[in-house]
A and B are shown apart, each in its own frame.
Chain A
Amino acid sequence: AQSVSQHNHHVILSEAASLELGCNYSYGGTVNLFWYVQYPGQHLQLLLKYFSGDPLVKGIKGFEAEFIKSKFSFNLRKPSVQWSDTAEYFCAVTPPASGTYKYIFGTGTRLKVLA
């Protein structure tokens, strides 16, 4: 079945460590890609998005993601995490243009940053 996969379900890092969260999707064709963050008890907020152009996308709070079409991947990175980055991170894809633009989410990665 077509899907979005986030292989790291739980990640624990110390402050200042580097972060990379994996996201792979199985849809062919042109897709739009997103990373959302959900802080404890809050709603989802957009971190960054990719539609076209430069495959290295910079988002808010020092996050970036790289789209690698050949690997069907859109991994999220941050060079140095902070305690305040503790949250759940979701990768999302809108499948190829079919007029629907529904967002399909991965299962999420819970990040805990130790102070």
Chain B
Amino acid sequence: DARVTQTPRHKVTEMGQEVTMRCQPILGHNTVFWYRQTMMQGLELLAYFRNRAPLDDSGMPKDRFSAEMPDATLATLKIQPSEPRDSAVYFCASAFFRVDTEAFFGQGTRLTVV
């Protein structure tokens, strides 16, 4: 059963600390998305990659957020330093880029910054 795996599922951290969220896309998928979900903003696209190259990270606060794909099986989203306003659920999704592609979502990382 192919699925997108995200770790950790929950993270509580203190303001100012570094947070790293990880995502393992579905094997063979060449596109990875990072979304942030909050009550106020809904689902915001933070960044996405195709074939490990960043295509668009315009939705991401550049001063504290960074996203990378060290290899085809791992995507990371890092926040340094974290702030309380970063508290949200962060979803990773993957897809195989073609005309009829659909995105498959992971279970999300619920981040709480206190």
Is A108 touching B102 in the complex (CB atoms < 8 A)? no
Of the listed residues A100, A104, A106, the one surrounded by the most CB atoms of chain B closer than 10 A to its CB is A100
Given contacts A43-B106, A43-B107, contact A100 B56 (CB under 8 A): yes
Given contacts A34-B102, A42-B107, contact A103 B45 (CB under 8 A): yes
CA distance A100 to B45 in the complex (A): 13
A112 contacts chain B at the CB level, 8 A cutoff: no
For chain B, which range describes its interface: under 10, 10 to 19, 20 to 34, or 35 or more residues? Answer: 20 to 34
- A102/B91 contact (C-beta < 8 A), A43-B107, A45-B105 known: no
Chain B: minimal CB distance from A89 (Å): 12
A: which residues have CB within 8 A of B? Answer: 32, 34, 36, 42-46, 49, 51, 90, 100-108
Nearest 7 CB-CB pairings of A with B: A107-B42, A105-B43, A44-B105, A43-B105, A43-B107, A51-B100, A108-B42
From 17 to 49 in chain B, residues with beta carbon under 8 angstroms from any chain A beta carbon are 31, 33, 35, 41-43, 45, 48
- Judge whether B99 and A51 touch: CB under 8 Å: yes
